[in-house]
Structure 1
């Protein structure tokens, strides 16, 4: 029994005497240490959507192209009319979202409901430094009339169909902030 204790204590002594640098040299440079695996879903699809790393053994998807404005557009008037088929004037139910860092912006159209909403909320929109997207406007005169209602805010004519899909919106006018969607 004394022999076994002597051998075990000798091994413990040898292991503690081995320099740490010798152990590190035998280890990979960046070992993966799993402390605890609680299951869950893989985050890989989120990283693949960013197209940051080359994929091996999976279906290759081309990177998403960044759309560019057509070179023939020389003025804003050529971008009109703007029509968002998925958005109409109407009531928007307030809801909470989590979008940290999102700068406030709002959606309006060239209609009486949007005109009234802009007049009512102009000071608040200016205080928040919100930018405006005009999602339904036919003419430059209509866009100019909207800009006259809130001369200190920026308004751009842009189709809102993609935003409607992504945010689950069907109506405007609406304000979108980092913490919520409200009318």
Structure 2
């Protein structure tokens, strides 16, 4: 295809967008159709019958338990997790509360987000939020993350470059 034909095809595209598509040659490969299934798809019959999605509240996920993770000492190590930002894991135990209290200002400065991986109740979660009111804390099971990072203990700060209990300004 020469440049003139390519330019003509680009210019004509808006006018041909409603035209029927004719396949001139099929050179093999896989269909891209699965990638487009979600675009302007008709709602599934089940979705049509369900007019309102279930009402989930934070309290409905509590208590949260992550059996792979317990309070303890974390040996610092290097990581390569580009784009992860700053994420920390805590529980509602005394060690986590003390760590959060000691590091809340630095965690806030870093824009860190907290996963509360072991929390027994809404009251315990609220107590953590009172210690660090400027931080986002979400009750989340950390089992998958613990397995992927070969992590056994918390509290811990996870960044794109390291995993450590020591929090610095960066």
Equivalent in the alignment of 1:144: 126
Equivalent in the alignment of 1:164: 146
Equivalent in the alignment of 2:101: 119
TM-score, L = length of structure 1: 0.61
1:7-28 CA deviation, whole Å, 9 max, x = no partner?
A: xxxxxxxxxxxxxxxxxxxxxx
Which residue, 70, 74, 85 being the options, matches 2:56?
74
* Counterpart secondary structure, 1:72: coil
Runs of 4+ in structure 1 deviating by more than 6 angstroms, as ranges, are none
Measure the CA separation in 1 of the matches of 2:133 and 2:72. 24
- Which blocks of at least 5 consecutive residues in structure 2 are unaligned? 1-28, 32-52, 166-170
- Which blocks of at least 5 consecutive residues in structure 1 are unaligned? 1-52, 56-70
Q: Aligned-pair distance for 1:54?
A: 5.0
TM-score, L = length of structure 2: 0.65
Measure the CA separation in 1 of the matches of 2:139 and 2:72. 19
Measure the CA separation in 2 of the matches of 1:143 and 1:73. 20
Are 1:182 and 2:164 matched, yes or no?
Answer: yes
Say how many residue pairs are matched. Answer: 117
Measure the CA separation in 1 of the matches of 2:113 and 2:137. 6
CA RMSD of aligned residues (A): 1.8
Equivalent in the alignment of 1:132: 114
